[in-house]
Amino acid sequence: MPRSKVKLAYISDDSARRTTFRKRESGLIKKAEEITTLCGVEACAILYSPYSPEPNVWPSPLDAQRVISRFRNMAPPEQNRKMVDQQSFTRQRLEKTTEKVTKLGTENRHNEMTQVMYQCLSGRLGLECLSIGDLYYLSGLVSQNLRVIDRRLEFFQRRDHSG
């Protein structure tokens, strides 16, 4: 950055922070536009700030929705499909997933999924955002709890009918 190099830390001065935000916000969007145009890829960016009543959503709220709905849905864009054949694509993905799972460990995964479940239930997270692996795990987790709940309900019903 010009004139002086700025420390990469929260700018405490309100005015300076706002000015910096405005400048960098436009810079960031410009960069996003460029990479999209130059490389023919899809991208979206969402910026929240206290300076605008709405988030700055690029390229547009509608386009962003489309991009977001494909979030973690790993089909590549149509025009580039030829570049990555399905087989190597699948293999890559498998390797990546395996590596990830190994790294995370069972306990981490469980905690993460519990978090996800909580977010889903409270409506803070859309399921379309999860990978297939996440969904399988989540399905198991939910099913398990449903069975426990059903057993509990049966207990109540038996008790109410008999007593």
Q: Return the residue matching tokens 């955002």.
A: 129
CB 138 within 8 A of CB 79: no
HSE on the CB side for 95, CA within 13 Å? Answer: 6
Choose between 20 and 131: whose C-beta lies nearer to DNA: 20
The reply on whether position 40 binds DNA by CB under 7 A is: no
At 20, list the tokens: 């910096």
| Radius of gyration of the CA atoms of the chain, in A | 23
Q: Does 109 bind DNA (CB under 7 A)?
A: no
Q: Which stretch binds DNA (CB under 7 A): 10-18, 69-77, 94-102, 151-159?
A: 10-18
Distance in Å, CB of 5 to DNA, minimum = 4
HEC sequence for 5-32: CCCCCCCCCHHHHHHHHHHHHHHHHHHH
Nearest-angstrom CA–CA distance, 141 and 137? 6
Q: From a copy of itself, DNA, none, which one binds at residue 2 (CB under 5 to 8 Å depending on kind)?
A: DNA
Point out which span in 17-25, 42-50, 69-77, 149-157 binds DNA (CB under 7 A): 17-25
The binder of 104, among DNA, a copy of itself, none, by C-beta within 5 to 8 A per type, is none
Residue 101 binding target from a copy of itself, DNA, none, CB below 5 to 8 Å by type: none
Site residues, DNA (CB under 7 A): 1-6, 14-16, 18-20, 22-24, 26-28, 30-31, 38, 51
